[in-house]
Every structure is written in structure tokens, then in C-alpha cells.
Structure 1
């Protein structure tokens, strides 16, 4: 197992040059190649579900192949992004987006640096951008906001803005999560703001170019908690392709917070923590402190090896043991809810990763198999996809099963 390749073509890196898939990166995103391979194996499902849709990879791959797909995510920003990526656009809407971008840059260049600039209330925002870059982004954002243009054109310019904001930030994506680089002195004799504005226009053209290609399948995107799918969905599905959050304490909210603050999906750190507490596997802010008093209630996994694994973690950290315990109870609750929206014999696929805390390996793929079998899914199997870019024991797996 240790000789397995990291296979970057199965990760988000493969998506960066795949048209709409490359509009905005999310490090935990999986490759379009995985979804494509599954669909080619199955033929054409009638309706696919992704209950942890993230940036919409499954939905967009399905739609590009003419397969209808429904997406669910608890994060309102990711719901918005998936809708933008899977929309179709008229030439008039694309022209309006281009005009809005050019008008916004013109306004940003002319606007005095210190007047009427809104800065998002992101905690420690100086870690993300130095003052010059932050002011340039605020000028550009103001230029976009003062326009009366709305709808799909504004959505496309917002994606371009997010792209520029992250590319000119101090965020580093050189391992499985995200860190911050030390701010560097500018090497440009020209003002960096000019480069930022020009980069925005270049990215806008890239986005418009990809948006010209219409997609054939219909995609519906729903905001909601995947533990309670029957409260969200009214359809029945013959296929599920998804990647639940990993049990690794690397919260998605951490990586998408800058976009959420800029676009108004978040106004405070407490809101971020509340959202992460509702999400499976979330540990941002108050979500971490609540683990100290969390109680598992009556739901059990029902496996002696699972209890032994928890005890190994608990010997080092009670809150971390609670985190792992809660994660799998939440997954079981989700899977019970998922059963209610499946057609008999539906094909299901989960992309998951194992984890390790202290000296205790969490065999996520094996625990999933035991849970699935305990609630009467059939033909449950897993295969190793790749070696992850982290500890040597960590891998990604593809779990498959069929509904009863």
C-alpha cells in the first residue's frame, strides 16, 4: 500500500484546467475523472444525487454528459457557487458580465484609495492580504457593487473576484489543508493594484469563455442539512456519487471564509462556528468548544473495534475522541436518511479518506462498510484510489454499495 502513487489526476489539481470546474478551487475537491469513470461504468443513471456537493463537481460532470443531478450542501456559499457553475448563459448575459467587469475596473482605477471603502469583517484579515492588496480588492469590489447589473452577469463577476482575491492572498495550498505565507515585498515597479485589476479582467475572460458552452443536463441545488434529506428532497434517485467531509478536523469553512465574508454569506466568526457545528465533521470556532460537553445519546455504531479505537484517542484527548465519535454518528444518521430517497437497487459511491490522530489510525473505509452493512445496504465494497499527500498511512478510497 505504501507504494501507491498520489495520482494528482484524481484530485482538484486535475480540475483546474477543465473549464468551469477550474473556476474556483477548493482543496478537498475530488477530480472530474473519478465521476466520469463511475458514470462510464454505470451507463446513464436517470437521476444522480450528491448530498455533500461542495463546489458542484458531481453535478457539473453529470450535466455535461446530459445526466440530471440534484445537489445538496449545508454551506450557502457552496450552494451559490454550484448554481453558478451549472447554469446556462445567454450571449446577452455574457456580454453584460464583460461590461460589468470593465466598468468595475474603470471605477476602481478612478476611486480615491481612502474614501467609502468597505472591508469585510474577517478576523485577522491582515493574514490574508497586506494593506495594499486589500485596498485594491476593496476598490474593485466597490466598483462591482455600485453597478445596477444583477443576476447571472453579477454572479460570473463575483466568481472572477473570488479567484483574484485568493490568488493575490497570502494563503498557501501546499498540503492537505491551507496555511499562510509570509507577506512578500512587492517586486513590481508598477502599483500592484494595476496588476490585480488586469488579472481580474483576464480571469473574467476565462470564465466567460467556459460559460459559453451550454450544459445539457438539469441540475437542482438545494441548501440543507444532509442528515435530514427527506426534509429537502422530493425525488427518488438511482445513483449517488459524493464525497463526505473527511474525519480530519480540517474544516471547509476555514478555506471558504474569505469568499463568504466578501460576498455577504457571513458577517461574524460566531456565524461561521454555528454553520460548522451543523456540518458533519466541522470544528471551526465554537464547534470545537462544544465538543467538550457533547453527548452521543442513544445512537451507537455497535462495533467493539470502533469503541477500542475511540478509547485510544480518548487516552490522549477527550474532545478529539468526541469529535470522531460525533462524526460517525452523524454519518450514520445521514445514511439512514439517504435510504429514504433511494430507488431499489440504486448504485452508491462515496469518496472517503482515512485519518490518524496521535498513534491511532481511523480506518474510515472499514467503519463505513460496517455501518452500511448494518443498515442493510448490499454489495458493500471499497477500493484504494490513491495515496494522499500527508502521512504515509493515509489514503483515499472509493466505497460502493447498492440500495436494498
Structure 2
């Protein structure tokens, strides 16, 4: 039986398919350098690029951790990707780069000669609010010593990027956080000293060496560093950033579920200097589609729909009205999310070649007792912007509410 009363929605799969989630990336070379819970898997992208060739140009307008573009590059296909978050753009380009044997050796030599001796003096650590919730003071001191060593190492910038990639892995592994839910959460420390047995800089060296070795082994894998590129920009204004004629779009935009990338990325962004305070984090999330962190929520309270950018989907305003009965903020959030999606597709059509294929991996949402059929709204927005043969495929059950699934919305752009 069909999940929804719509003949373009394929039947629901019988189980959760972890091969299509970020978990499948953890052991896949460069894909596993840093986890991001909402990420989707390389295997799914490989299924979608199977029909593409050397002459194709793929666009991912919502970069995330760079899964789409990296997978394309691994298969010899050119791909560009865009994100409004500068840390994600940095991470993606580090993954996409080709590294010379000398640069690999620089990073290995740094690790071999690393001496993390606690001097008792203070080292810089990021101005992350309530940082003691993230790391025990001794763990934080160990990370600070390691960070300073990487920052001042006499190595090339590509080698330093690899070192910082490993540092980010170590930072999150020593933090008091859990990934057992669909988003990151704090967990109770198992003892008075910290979440892992690090405590002193000297004990951190082994963990860092292990993670760096994993990064370097993947970096040694041959990859054409010219095939994939990540750009800093807004997916609602792609035409101002990119030169067009992309033949395929493969992407997974943020879902309308109030889970913020900023929330997951804050520790990395503060350590690497992309964030300085909470206000900056909120301002950045307000620019993102679906962002609600910090001041983005208060901004929502003042937001008003744009009559020139209607979301033309049957029953959409009724859905918004039902949500508003329980929460005005959530109603505004959902309305703004889909209005931003309309702006995204308006811009997208200006950079696509005629006949381009599009694949959007999206998830539905539920607010109180109101279902938001994201996949059907995307399908209708695509039709209204020149896409034909639009179909929705239900690909997996998500690890949250029983009504929530992940879909691929596909279509072909005819202009």
C-alpha cells in the first residue's frame, strides 16, 4: 500500500537502511573524516550517479560535508557544491584536494615529533559558552596544547589542513556528547575526570596519532583535485555565484525539523576561528534555510511572508494554520522554510542545462499532530519551476518518529 494518497509516491521500504545514512560513511576514506548526523551516504549518491559520464557537471547546492561532490570526484565526474557555512566549505575543499607525498610526510613528521608536555601555563581555548559542559578542564587543556602545536607548526597549508581535520575528530571524541539521537546531545560524565581517559597532553598524543593516520591513509588515495569544488554562498542566489549549464543536481537540503547545523558544528567552528560568539552563530543560522539557532528564533517572530513568493501547494496554508494553533513560531518557521525553497528553485533554474536531472533527498516532518509532507511540497515546487516527470521515492525509515521517512524527489528540467 502507498504511504500517502498520491500515485507518485512509491511504497515505503520495510526497514531503516543505515547504508543510506552518515553511518555508512564512517569507514569510507575521506567521507569518514568528520561526522555530521544529518549527512546522507556515499552509497546513495553512487546509485544516482551511475548513469552519468565524464561530460556531466553535477551541482550540490547544499554542501554539508561534501558527500555528493566527493563521490562524483571519486568517479571522475566534475561537481560543484555550495554552502553558506564557511567551516563546511573549508572541510569539503580539504576532502576534495589532492595531496603530494611531501605534504603527507609533513603531517606524519609533525605527529612523530609531537611533544605535548603540560607546562602549567594557560593556552588559548575558544570562547564557546559553557565550555566546561563540553570538556573537562584537563581535557580542554590537552586540546589547547595540541591546537597551539598545530597552529604554529612549520608545515605547508595543505598539511596543516590535514592536521586540523584529525584535531576535529579528537576534539569531538573527547567531548561529553552523544550521537545516539538524530542530533548531538550532552551526556553524563561517567566519572569526575572526563568522558575519556585523556586528562594530560601526553596521553592525547596517541589518540591524535591514530586519527591522523586514518586521515593520511585516505589522503594518500589518488584523487583528481580539480574535479570537485566547494564555494561559499547562498543557495537562494546560485545564479550570482555559479556559471550555469549543470546537467545534474544531487543534494539533500536541511529538513524542516528545527535541527540546526550550527548546533552540531559549533565546537569545530569555535576552535578553527569561524565563530567568536553566540550572536555570530545565530546570525549565520538565520541566513541558512531552516536555521533556528539563537537569534534566528527571535528573528522568526518578526518575519512576514512575501506575497511575491507564494508556496503554491494545495492545503499549504491550512497546514500552517493548524501548526499556528499550537505555536506561532513553528508556523512561521515552516512557512519561511518553504518560501526559501521557492527562492532556491527560482535561482537554480538559471544555472541548469535543459534536460538536467535533479535528485533531492528530503524528509517529512511532524509538528505536534500536524504532518508536513515535505516531499510532496518539493515535488510541486519543482513542477512549477519547469521540471517534468517529477516522482517521489520513499527510500528509508528514519530513526525518529514512526511517521518520518526519507525520500528522493526526482525530476527533469525542461525550462
**Same fold per superposition (TM over 0.5):** yes
Q: Is the 8 A contact 1:130 1:183 kept in 2?
A: no
Q: Secondary structure in 2 aligned to 1:82?
A: helix
Cα deviation, residue 311, structure 1: 0.6
Matched residue SS, 2:358: strand
Cross-structure match for 1:155? 161
Give 1:124 shift.
Answer: 1.2
Q: Aligned partners of 1:339, 1:189: CA distance in 2, in Å?
A: 52
Match of 2:333 among 317, 323, 330: 323
1:398–1:360 distance in 2 versus 1, CA, 3 Å = same
Asked if 2 retains the 8 angstrom alpha-carbon contact of 1:242 and 1:351, the reply is: yes
Note if contact 1:96-1:153 (Cα within 8 Å) is conserved in structure 2: yes
Q: State yes or no: 1:232 paired with 2:238.
A: no
CA distance in 2, matches of 1:169, 1:45: 44
* Other-structure match for 1:201: 209
| Match of residue 57 from structure 1 | 67
CA RMSD in angstroms comes to 1.6
Q: Is the 8 A contact 1:52 1:243 kept in 2?
A: yes
Aligned to 1:341: 351
Q: Does 1:397 align with 2:402?
A: no
Alpha-carbon contact 1:251-1:276 (below 8 Å) kept: yes
Matched, 1:10 2:16: no
C-alpha displacement of 1:189: 8.3
**1:256: which partner in 2?**
265
Of residues 247-256 and 34-43 in structure 1, the stretch that sits farther from structure 2 once superposed is: 34-43
Q: Does 1:385 align with 2:385?
A: no
Asked if 1:284 corresponds to 2:305, the answer is no
> Which residue of structure 2 aligns with residue 36 of structure 1?
46
Tell me what 2:9 maps to: none
Q: 2:101 matched to which residue of 1?
A: 91
* Native 8 Å contact 2:81 2:230 kept in 1: yes
**Compared CA separation, residues 376 and 189, structure 1 to 2 (3 A):** closer
TM-score, normalised by the number of residues in structure 1: 0.96
- 1:302 is aligned to 312
CA distance 1:219–1:363, change in 2 (3 Å): same
Aligned residues: 400
Match for residue 100 of structure 1?
110
CA distance in 2 between counterparts of 1:325 and 1:191 reads: 47
Say which SS state the counterpart of residue 17 (structure 1) adopts. Answer: coil
CA drift of 1:44 comes to: 5.0
8 Å CA contact 1:11, 1:31 repeated in 2: yes
Q: Secondary structure at the match of 1:292?
A: helix
Q: Deviations over 1:323-349 (max 9, x none)?
A: 000000001100110000000000000
Q: For 1:267 and 1:75, how far apart are their aligned partners in 2?
A: 14
For residues 245 and 52 of structure 2, the distance between their equivalents in structure 1, rounded to whole angstroms, comes to 17
Query: Matched residues in 2 for 1:302 and 1:236: separation?
Result: 27
Aligned mates of 2:329, 2:368 — CA distance in 1: 13
Q: What is the distance in 1 between the residues matched to 2:221 and 2:198?
A: 36
| Aligned counterpart in structure 1 of residue 152 of structure 2, from 120, 141, 146 | 146
Residue pairs, 1:122-201, within 5 angstroms:
122-185=128-191, 186=193, 191=199, 193-201=201-209
Q: In structure 2, do the counterparts of structure 1 residues 192 and 386 end up closer, same or farther at CA, with 3 Å as the change threshold?
A: farther
CA distance in 2, matches of 1:335, 1:189: 49
Distance 1:112 1:76 in 2: 34
Give the gaps of 5 or more residues in structure 2: 4-11
Q: Which has the higher helix share?
A: 1
Structure 1 unaligned regions, length at least 5:
none
Q: How many angstroms does 1:97 deviate by? A: 1.2
